[in-house]
Amino acid sequence: MTRLLAACAAMLLLFPLAGAAPALHAYHSTITELRYNAAKKQLELSVKVFTDDFEKALSQGQPTHVNLTDAGPRPLALATAYLQRTLQISTVAGAPLPLQVLGKQSENDGYWFYCKVPLPGPVPGIKLRQAMMLDLFGDEANIVNIEAGAKKQSALFRSGHEEEVLTW
């Protein structure tokens, strides 16, 4: 009987009931793909978030829950403001560079946000602050994969380590 109960409990955890809310993921993270495009003098970013986590972040301080699938400009406007507040890029010397959100695309249990950052000219690196959802989840890990020319590198941002200088 104990084995049967354990098996049933495991099945409920692994396979959510039809029509129920999606299963919660075991970790909290974002993935950012950052590409230095020297020819266009810009950084090109793709940021992947879990939908439920990101909607929770966007809903903070709002009168109603923010749903990324809602019609109209509100979801993208709130996402843009949030990204600009928590994903900040500057020159190595500290001059802020404007993050422009170009759009979003849903994918399974998450969304990709596509952004660009115009650059003043060739840059040997940037200062990156990636603090998305660090205030919401103690285990949040923000992974950034950088591609600049032939150089590829990765950086991990967590609570207490939100900023890093990246050079190429």
Q: How confident is the prediction along the chain (168 residues), in pLDDT tens digits per residue?
A: 444 333 333 333 333 433 334 446 678 999 999 999 999 999 999 999 999 999 999 999 999 999 999 999 999 999 999 999 999 999 999 999 999 999 999 999 999 999 999 999 999 999 999 999 999 999 999 999 999 999 999 999 999 999 999 999
Residue 61 DSSP symbol: T
- Residues pairing with 34 in the sheet: 45, 146
- In this prediction the pTM is 0.84
Q: State the sign of the Cα–Cα–Cα–Cα dihedral 34, 57, 129, 160.
A: negative
Distances (CA, A) of 66 to 1, 35, 79, 113: 44, 30, 10, 16
**Cα(129)–Cα(162) distance, rounded to whole angstroms?**
5
**Cα(143)–Cα(158) distance, rounded to whole angstroms?**
9
